Amino acid sequence: MLMDWQFQKDKREARDCRERLKARRTDLAALQQPLKEAKLPVIVLVEGWGAAGKGSVIHSLIRELDPRFFKVRSVGMPTAEEQRWPFLKRHFETIPEEGKILFLDSGWMDETVRERMRRDLSDQEYQRRLESIRVFERQLAAGGYLLVKLFLHISQETQEQRLEKLAEDKDTAWRVGENDRKQNKNYDKALEAFEEYLTATDFPWAPWKIIDGTDAVCSQLDAADWLYAQISDALQRRPRPEQPRRAWPLVPIPLLKDVALDKTMEEEDYDKALKRCRKKLAKLHNELYRRQVPVVIVYEGWDAAGKGGNIKRLSSALDPRGCEVLPIASPTPDELHRQYLWRFWTRLPKTGHIAIFDRSWYGRVMVERLEGFCTEDDWKRAYDEINEFERELTDAGTVVVKFWVQIDKDTQLARFQDRQNTPEKRWKITDEDWRNREKWDAYEVAINEMLQKTNTRNAPWHILESVDKRYARIKAMSIVIEALEAAL
């Protein structure tokens, strides 16, 4: 895409460009209201050579926009703190809400190409990284996001001249980094790395637009024209990415109706086992810290199945400074207006820490599916998206353990009635619980489908038979111990 590029030689009529740019900015401003009404979120990725004019292009594009409708983010290399999470986390975190435009001055491309050139990424890691980026961009597009990807291209000579000019003035000299100089010196190598990345990530539903950065005003006009055309098109019809082609390494798991629920544990055995598990977990948590392994534990289950008590036994055995229980309620407006996995990406544990999710992203294929909070297309797509999400976690070294807490319908009724009849417990039972109970059969279909389609080798489900809560608690703790021991 870059290799055979013919740089602009004759200056286009500058005055003409300037006039057209001015008009185009007004056009862009006029798109803000339609964009808001269409609830279209837009990410404008501005990548390119150092000193190619990325900042100036953004500056020019936002000139007539209302600050309520856009944000600009300048993304540097990840800090030591940021490196304690999977690669995609800090990028997922910045995604805009619907109706807003996010301008990124470099993003995941710059980070990836730099690491590639510094040899921080092996060939295999680089391919894996491209896979992460493909997943990320596809999930965003499938979630209704418009991705506008600009690459500002300049020649080696142009770059050299600009870097020199910046270095001359003490107030702009700090803008010229070591990386820019290196890039200019090794222009051909960098060109190759850019080309490789651009080719690998040029999707029909989120194509790259190469912009000639030789002349500042012309490049701004080209960017504005492209952005305007892309938004106008998306307002007519959102880009539709392909389906993921991945065949997941799924592991068979029994249907809920075939799960025997008669398992029990005597109180005496329980007390002993609890003590033993607590001790082991405390020790393992220290080791996790030392070895900097992050852990994600997911609890899903029927209302009144005993999730809360089970979580409490597990979490109270762990160091609270490194373990957080995350109760997942219905999404806030902020969360509702972004891709649905956003609120989980932002809550991931850092290395050495444990996050216990009390309900999770699986809400998408249970309550959101059954209550119509998302479209059929949304929840059907979610199985793959969730598998992809969990693979990002496990590939980054996270231990992922998922529990389904299982009881039968009669046990639930007995527990509901007990809650209703015990004043201290009454706040735990709501009308919604009774309504959900009426949909037991529909839920069972959805849960079975979920378990079948997301029981991957890297992030497996475990069913906790919880008619006897003691049995379920010890089973959960034992599974966590096993998973941690295997990982350490």
For binding to a second copy (CB under 8 A), which residues are involved?
30, 33, 55, 58-59, 62-64, 66-68, 71-72, 74, 79-81, 103, 105, 169-175, 283, 286-287, 289-290, 308, 311-312, 315-316, 319-322, 324-327, 332-334, 356, 358, 424, 427
**Nearer of residues 326 and 396 to a second copy, judged by Cβ:** 326
The Cα 233–Cα 7 span in angstroms is: 28
**Nearer of residues 58 and 146 to a second copy, judged by Cβ:** 58
Shortest distance, position 113 Cβ to a second copy, whole Å: 19
Q: How many helices (H) and strands (E) does the chain have?
A: 20, 10
- Could you give phi then psi for residue 62, rounded to 5 degrees? -85, -5
**Nearer of residues 26 and 127 to a second copy, judged by Cβ:** 26
Q: Which two tokens stand for residue 13?
A: 């009529």
**Nearer of residues 257 and 321 to a second copy, judged by Cβ:** 321
The Cα 370–Cα 146 span in angstroms is: 28
Amino acid at 358: D
From residue 97, give the alpha-carbon distance in Å to each of 21, 41, 67. 27, 6, 14
| DSSP H helical ranges for 143-212 | 156-168, 178-185, 187-200
Beta strand ranges found along 36-78 (DSSP E): 42-48, 70-74
The Cα 11–Cα 15 span in angstroms is: 11
Shortest distance, position 219 Cβ to a second copy, whole Å: 16
Task: Specify the DSSP element, H or E, that contains 209.
Answer: strand 208-212
Shortest distance, position 12 Cβ to a second copy, whole Å: 23
**Nearer of residues 6 and 79 to a second copy, judged by Cβ:** 79
**Nearer of residues 354 and 474 to a second copy, judged by Cβ:** 354
**Nearer of residues 66 and 482 to a second copy, judged by Cβ:** 66
**Nearer of residues 33 and 421 to a second copy, judged by Cβ:** 33
**Nearer of residues 239 and 322 to a second copy, judged by Cβ:** 322
Shortest distance, position 313 Cβ to a second copy, whole Å: 10
The Cα 386–Cα 368 span in angstroms is: 14
Shortest distance, position 294 Cβ to a second copy, whole Å: 15
The Cα 455–Cα 451 span in angstroms is: 6
DSSP track, 322-339: GEEEEE--SPPHHHHTS-
Shortest distance, position 324 Cβ to a second copy, whole Å: 7
The set of residues, in sequence order, having a beta carbon less than 8 Å from that of 480 and lying 6+ positions away, is 281, 297, 314, 401
Shortest distance, position 169 Cβ to a second copy, whole Å: 8
**Nearer of residues 356 and 374 to a second copy, judged by Cβ:** 356
Shortest distance, position 185 Cβ to a second copy, whole Å: 24
The DSSP output letter for 455 is -
Shortest distance, position 63 Cβ to a second copy, whole Å: 5
Shortest distance, position 317 Cβ to a second copy, whole Å: 9
The Cα 231–Cα 229 span in angstroms is: 6
Strand arrangement, sheet containing 42-48: 70-74, 101-105, 42-48, 146-153, 208-212
